[in-house]
Amino acid sequence: MSSPEPVRFHFDYLSPYAYLAWQALPEIAARHGREVVAVPTLFAALLGAAGTKGPAEIPAKRVYVFKDAMRSAHALGVPFAPPPAHPFNPLLALRVSSLDLDEAVRARVVSRLFAATWGGGAGVDGEATVRALLDELGLDGAAMVREASSDATKARLRAATDAAIAAGAFGVPTMFVDGELFWGLDSLRHVDARLAGRDPIDDVDLSRWAHTPATAKRRGS
């Protein structure tokens, strides 16, 4: 008998909600006999493909998101503090996380880099910082940072991001459960229901939603 398909977790270190979802998702998946595969995904490319702005690009939303994320972290009982700068360049951290690693090792790397970003650490912006964080895990940080700059690693991150876009992802965190897309921290309860076989949309005819016509259009769109 084959093992059930893992939950695919698409994330970018830029997102506080991705950090918070990473704290809770593995336990939810484990309750249902599922594993979680972390998939580094470039948030900026998702925004570009969808033609939308990130929360940090909208001043009022930027402030709200930090406050909302802090409230959510308090509810989850996990540490939370803004990174030294935001937005920042996440490419090195994403590429390091995209290396050909054992999934258990990748999970440790992701957890450490997330903690450094949103858990009160020094951030993940810069080779020296990322290298030191990897060294703390007992890994060869220098070698991993070098490999992260290879064409193969860059291509791996691009391919994962392109695959996410092709599958319908438009933001992070995005979780895929047996092909069904779930977006955002607040969708974790729906992920739980789906894994338990209690997804209410299973009994709904969604075709009428797909073909419902629009009778109004926002100016400039």
Q: Would you say residue 146 has pLDDT above 70?
A: yes
Going by pLDDT thresholds of 50, 70 and 90, the confidence category of residue 105 is very high
Rounded to whole angstroms, the Cα distance separating 5 from 16 reads: 26
Q: Stretch 7-36: mean pLDDT, rounded?
A: 98
Task: List, for residues 147-199, the tens digit of each pLDDT value.
Answer: 999 999 999 999 999 999 999 999 999 999 999 999 999 999 999 999 999 99
Q: For residue 169, give the nearest of 157, 154, 184, 185 by alpha carbon.
A: 184
Residue 71's domain spans which residues? Answer: 7-210
Does residue 32 belong to any structural domain of this protein? Answer: yes
Q: Stretch 95-115: mean pLDDT, rounded?
A: 98
Does residue 219 belong to any structural domain of this protein? Answer: no
Which two structure tokens, joined as six digits, stand for 48? 């570009």
Q: Would you say residue 215 has pLDDT above 90?
A: no
Q: For residue 118, give the nearest of 76, 73, 148 by alpha carbon.
A: 73
Task: List, for residues 38-89, the tens digit of each pLDDT value.
Answer: 999 999 999 999 999 999 899 999 999 999 999 999 999 999 999 999 999 9
Q: Would you say residue 207 has pLDDT above 80?
A: no
Does residue 84 belong to any structural domain of this protein? Answer: yes
Domain count, the chain: 1
Going by pLDDT thresholds of 50, 70 and 90, the confidence category of residue 91 is very high
- The answer to whether the CB of 12 falls within 8 A of the CB of 43 is yes
Does residue 217 belong to any structural domain of this protein? Answer: no
Q: Stretch 101-112: mean pLDDT, rounded?
A: 97
180 DSSP β-pair partners: 177
pLDDT at 1: 59
State the chain's mean pLDDT as an integer: 94
What pTM does this model have? 0.94
Does residue 1 belong to any structural domain of this protein? Answer: no
Does residue 218 belong to any structural domain of this protein? Answer: no
Which two structure tokens, joined as six digits, stand for 14? 């830029």
Which of 52-60's residues contact partners 24+ apart within 8 Å by CB, and which partners? Answer: 52/170, 54/14, 54/87, 56/14, 56/86, 56/87
pLDDT at 212: 81
Question: Between 209 and 215, where is the model more confident?
Answer: 215
Does residue 22 belong to any structural domain of this protein? Answer: yes
Does residue 2 belong to any structural domain of this protein? Answer: no
CATH label of the domain that carries residue 161: 3.40.30.10
- The answer to whether the CB of 29 falls within 8 A of the CB of 3 is no
Q: Stretch 2-31: mean pLDDT, rounded?
A: 96
